[in-house]
Structure 1
């Protein structure tokens, strides 16, 4: 038993800890303070309550995260992105770290010892990364407040009451102060020499302009946000007069607040575009090499250097090319690998038409693939998600700049399913032969399986259920592209080629990401590398390289994570022989929540010893 000094903020949160996990339950408000009181952690239960209180204290500082969790607290607010808020976050992390370091781990069970270790490690990294808080591009073609505002309102802000509609209008009004802070952040970075390259600006300006195009901003069709609000309010069981009043107030908020906020942002972006350079890599940033090396460690949860990651990528590219040549022989293709790539890029049989009918056909087939996969999960997974998922096209307001595909996790309270978003703006970038692998990666048994299960692990503290380790989650996504082949899928050799093409894509990422950010490759050099070494169409390639430029290191997580998962699976198979059970291996991965790769290895080794001992 150990006396733990906790801030009064944590004690205040603990007062309501019994209800903290209920997504729609208000949590006792807490304020930062330097005052401390003594609190004794007598049990594992008290420790979990403490961690959950810390987690909920932080959750309450981020209204958009609360919305994502299904909570309606501060439903009319946006996250505070000011420097003052970042300083408060640092103070809270420092205070919580001091409290956790005083806990005697020996009084905790094995799972909570791991929770303590992970919480300390995450807080240490958060504090360490404070020095890099400006090393990002808050507005880019992949994400940012300009696209995050409509994405949150459209996809996550539910309206089931007049109060919800009032909160939506409140959020519209609060876009203006949010963008004041956003512009301050952009100017601060410009003063530090941190700006995205020139190619980013036309895309983000266009996306921003899309938000304020249409009624009530002009005489066109309803704008994206106006149409969303009207459709949600129309479903309410209230009088037509009340609906009309709410709709009119939303129109006023859009014209008086959203429009001016976006116009001001666009003006700043246009001015910054005039002084932006064509330099692409993180090396151009202040202390860019140190930042990139730190970010590689963050993304991969390993100590691998940029050179080591680059060389792993080169070796994997060579291996996958060899497997592709075997498929060329299987389909009796006459020509070399480059000829085969050109065939896969251009033959009409591999693409749906670039029409509404073609897009719907893609969504229908992706849904069917996931539905079929559901019927095969029992043989490979003991733990399965309770939450459902759907497949949707990326919305028009962001489809020209958004990535190829991505996944949004379900609301913990079941009010929103998991969503696999497919970007169908250009059907030439979504070949049929990659459909299977992409559906498995984003849906089942990929991200939906992992993320939905993670938040359903009620026995774990919330900080572990909602933890994010890219090498763990993206490594799993890539692993679950391969796993279906072992389950008997990819019967069509061209679909199997598509699986290899997507694995090749991730191997090439190791090469081009480190090339861009460590070896000072230009955007054009990285594009040329992918043109030569992958079958992907040029539009796909350009968009990918532009993504890697604005998200340094993130693209390395996929292959590094997959390699580790396969290494651990092979180790377990060799150690256990006939005792090896693939369901057990997957349950170890999924049942402990997201963890760094070194802890994943510890978990697998512990499972091996348990199986050997007959447990």
Structure 2
């Protein structure tokens, strides 16, 4: 998955949401038990064992997470994240983890383990609140949506080119077992939907119609052209011809007799029963208990206990500030029309449209070289993992983002990759290239993900996990380093940077507008079009994403503003002693921290003289 949309969500949410917590780079195998370091106390050893045992138990409850990490011990299972037993087990595990944590004397831990203690405590406490009966009652009965439904994740996962491995005969057999469980989960989701119909906790009609369209697309694939048939179109060496024939027959029969009928049942239920009961409103404020759920989602996504109104007002102020910057760039290039007319110019003038895929490729390579020449002025902590620049593969370029990042492996055997998209070349505006590279590649996601996973002193949940506010906040903060790294000296490229920042600022306004202030879909789209050069298609997709997954889009700007605020505090306190290289190392070297933990860490760093 793209790190651009890393979404590390609460274990309280359904499987299709939980699966997005595994966007981190894959591990080669299951992690071994922790080994004591030279300066570890008995308390450090206890803490690391708690982390290890918690992770091991979680992987067993959430087997797809293990598969993404290369751990195939539970690869014949998909998990049953919609059951009452699963929710109870997650809640019991969180409570037990917090009890175990409380029994450890934090004062006796090493500095790194104190941070790990704080991160684990923060994440587990927030997750536990999401597992409370009152929140579960508002989430479990809306088990899928068009953005994070089983139907939007699992077919690709099981397609032969997704996250599931297909190297051995056992891999193929395990996939058959998971496919059957996928069908069962769809039926279980219908049961949950019916429960929500009784309490009035239902999805918006817009979301339901989008899901119906998704199931229509899956159903019309048929059998041998089904995404699920992909693994048996080709086989790796070592699987006998007889087994290949048997598997092709088994996959076809399962698709025909199990998978397609389950998808048809869900499609018919949504169209013939659920749609009529779904709500006309698009925001959570129009759903019973929605205000309470939205308050929780704001905190779980931003890691801060913010109120919807303060987030909304913050967004409005950021939009106003960025608009002034856009006006300045319009003046700088000598454009005589209004700002909306300037937006149209940026979207339509051919000078901003690449003439070939090679032009994009060469442009990104040149940007990378320019940043490399300056990066050590701002960073002393440089990841060992190499970075490659590649075009998005043709098979998925139509639906992929304009730019994305895929993490490498901790041992460097697989590089990190910045992907640029060459599909529909006129829409790949060249004025957005520099900010896109800063965000997705260097010093954005490539630095943040690689530095963390290379730090073997960190526990697994800090090396490979994290939260959206930090991960996306860092990438957005990385864009603000354009002056120091010699980027965006051209007014059009600076406009690209402002446009990218504007999207994240508008999200604060629009997400809270939809879910706390009763905004309609069209009202939200119109707001985004009025304040940016976005195309209507993009604005529509963004708004429908916010409708489906409330609160997630808030994390980007909140994270960036938090990092920027801690930097300003450090510069004011340290004066001439402030070294940006040391500051960036302090922010990066312990992985993706919740915002309160990050602020506390930087406060201690300032008190120690910025060293």
- Asked if 1 retains the 8 angstrom alpha-carbon contact of 2:411 and 2:454, the reply is no
d(CA) in 1 for partners of 2:417, 2:169: 26
d(CA) in 1 for partners of 2:29, 2:196: 37
d(CA) in 2 for partners of 1:103, 1:407: 38
d(CA) in 1 for partners of 2:479, 2:223: 45
- Aligned pair in 2 of structure 1 residues 386, 146: CA closer, same or farther (>3 Å)? farther
- Asked if 1 retains the 8 angstrom alpha-carbon contact of 2:391 and 2:422, the reply is no
Match of 1:346 in 2: 348
d(CA) in 2 for partners of 1:444, 1:83: 44
Match of 2:146 in 1: 141
Match of 2:186 in 1: 179
Per-residue deviation at 1:68? Answer: 1.3
d(CA) in 1 for partners of 2:501, 2:218: 35
Q: Output one character per residue of 1:240-285: Cα deviation in whole Å (capped at 9) or x when no partner.
A: 4443443333333322322222222222222322332320111122
Q: Output one character per residue of 1:478-517: Cα deviation in whole Å (capped at 9) or x when no partner.
A: 1112223420122432222111011111111111111111
Q: Which moved more, 1:131-140 or 1:472-481?
A: 131-140
Aligned pairs (5 A) from 1:99-248: 99-130=100-131, 131-136=134-139, 137-153=142-158, 154-214=161-221, 216-217=223-224, 222-231=225-234, 233=235, 235-248=236-249
d(CA) in 2 for partners of 1:471, 1:101: 26
Match of 1:74 in 2: 74
- Asked if 1 retains the 8 angstrom alpha-carbon contact of 2:371 and 2:486, the reply is no
d(CA) in 2 for partners of 1:375, 1:341: 32
Q: Output one character per residue of 1:197-248: Cα deviation in whole Å (capped at 9) or x when no partner.
A: 222233323333333444635xxxx3333235424x2x43444444344333
Taking CA–CA contacts closer than 8 Å with sequence separation of 6 or more, which of the two structures ends up with the larger relative contact order? 2
- Asked if 2 retains the 8 angstrom alpha-carbon contact of 1:289 and 1:518, the reply is yes
Q: Which moved more, 1:110-119 or 1:414-423?
A: 414-423
Q: Output one character per residue of 1:402-422: Cα deviation in whole Å (capped at 9) or x when no partner.
A: 776655545657776656666
- Asked if 2 retains the 8 angstrom alpha-carbon contact of 1:135 and 1:285, the reply is no
d(CA) in 2 for partners of 1:277, 1:209: 22
- Asked if 2 retains the 8 angstrom alpha-carbon contact of 1:450 and 1:473, the reply is yes
Per-residue deviation at 1:335? Answer: 1.0
Q: Could you state the TM-score of these two structures normalised by the residue count of structure 1?
A: 0.84
Match of 1:474 in 2: 472
d(CA) in 2 for partners of 1:88, 1:515: 35
d(CA) in 2 for partners of 1:61, 1:369: 44
SS in 2 for 1:334: coil
- Asked if 2 retains the 8 angstrom alpha-carbon contact of 1:147 and 1:208, the reply is no
- Asked if 1 retains the 8 angstrom alpha-carbon contact of 2:166 and 2:231, the reply is no
Match of 1:307 in 2: 309
Match of 2:380 in 1: 382
- Asked if 2 retains the 8 angstrom alpha-carbon contact of 1:52 and 1:463, the reply is no
- Asked if 1 retains the 8 angstrom alpha-carbon contact of 2:397 and 2:422, the reply is no
- Asked if 1 retains the 8 angstrom alpha-carbon contact of 2:352 and 2:431, the reply is yes
**Is 1:596 the counterpart of 2:594 in the alignment?**
yes
Per-residue deviation at 1:23? Answer: 4.8
Per-residue deviation at 1:565? Answer: 1.2
- Asked if 1 retains the 8 angstrom alpha-carbon contact of 2:392 and 2:420, the reply is yes
- Aligned pair in 2 of structure 1 residues 76, 371: CA closer, same or farther (>3 Å)? farther
- Aligned pair in 2 of structure 1 residues 428, 324: CA closer, same or farther (>3 Å)? same
Match of 1:281 in 2: 283
Match of 1:445 in 2: 443
SS in 2 for 1:563: helix
- Aligned pair in 2 of structure 1 residues 361, 255: CA closer, same or farther (>3 Å)? farther
SS in 2 for 1:604: helix
Match of 2:44 in 1: 44
Point out where structure 1 has 5 or more consecutive residues left out of the alignment: 1-20, 29-40
Match of 1:269 in 2: 270
Q: Output one character per residue of 1:298-352: Cα deviation in whole Å (capped at 9) or x when no partner.
A: 2222233222211111111111111111211221111121110121122233345
d(CA) in 2 for partners of 1:25, 1:173: 25
Match of 2:530 in 1: 532
Per-residue deviation at 1:441? Answer: 1.8
Q: Could you state the TM-score of these two structures normalised by the residue count of structure 2?
A: 0.84
Per-residue deviation at 1:369? Answer: 4.7
Q: Output one character per residue of 1:118-172: Cα deviation in whole Å (capped at 9) or x when no partner.
A: 3233222222222312434432232221111023233211222222232233323
- Asked if 2 retains the 8 angstrom alpha-carbon contact of 1:23 and 1:412, the reply is no
Per-residue deviation at 1:564? Answer: 1.6
SS in 2 for 1:60: helix
SS in 2 for 1:303: coil
Q: Output one character per residue of 1:177-214: Cα deviation in whole Å (capped at 9) or x when no partner.
A: 23222333333333332333222233323333333444
- Aligned pair in 2 of structure 1 residues 396, 197: CA closer, same or farther (>3 Å)? farther
Match of 1:293 in 2: 295
Match of 1:15 in 2: none
d(CA) in 1 for partners of 2:299, 2:396: 34
Match of 2:4 in 1: none
**Residue 575 (structure 1) aligned to one of 573, 576, 581:** 573
Point out where structure 2 has 5 or more consecutive residues left out of the alignment: 1-25, 34-40
Q: Number of residue pairs matched?
A: 570
- Aligned pair in 2 of structure 1 residues 125, 441: CA closer, same or farther (>3 Å)? same
- Asked if 1 retains the 8 angstrom alpha-carbon contact of 2:314 and 2:508, the reply is yes
Match of 1:33 in 2: none
- Asked if 1 retains the 8 angstrom alpha-carbon contact of 2:119 and 2:597, the reply is no
Match of 1:31 in 2: none
- Asked if 1 retains the 8 angstrom alpha-carbon contact of 2:315 and 2:509, the reply is yes
- Aligned pair in 2 of structure 1 residues 296, 426: CA closer, same or farther (>3 Å)? farther
Match of 1:260 in 2: 261
Q: Output one character per residue of 1:21-46: Cα deviation in whole Å (capped at 9) or x when no partner.
A: 97524889xxxxxxxxxxxx934123
SS in 2 for 1:199: helix
SS in 2 for 1:155: coil
Match of 2:58 in 1: 58
- Asked if 2 retains the 8 angstrom alpha-carbon contact of 1:394 and 1:424, the reply is no
Q: Output one character per residue of 1:536-565: Cα deviation in whole Å (capped at 9) or x when no partner.
A: 111111111111111212212111211121
Q: Which moved more, 1:449-458 or 1:403-412?
A: 403-412
